[in-house]
Amino acid sequence: MNPQLLRVTNRIIERSRETRSAYLARIEQSENFDRSSFAVGMR
């Protein structure tokens, strides 16, 4: 890979590490959420 492209890519990865982790945690949490009670209007 082009060295400049590799540096830019790695910088983007580092800068987004914290927000990406938070995003992935929210996605995982939403996958485990029981939505069945919403269908019957219980919440």
Number of domains in the chain: 1
* Average pLDDT, integer, range 13-32: 93
**Tens digits of residue pLDDT in 6-16:** 999 999 999 99
Asked whether the beta carbons of 37 and 43 are under 8 A apart, the reply is yes
Distance separating alpha carbons of residues 28 and 21, to the nearest angstrom: 11
**What's the confidence (pLDDT) of residue 34?**
73
Distance separating alpha carbons of residues 11 and 17, to the nearest angstrom: 10
**What's the confidence (pLDDT) of residue 16?**
98
The answer on pLDDT for 43 being more than 60 is: no
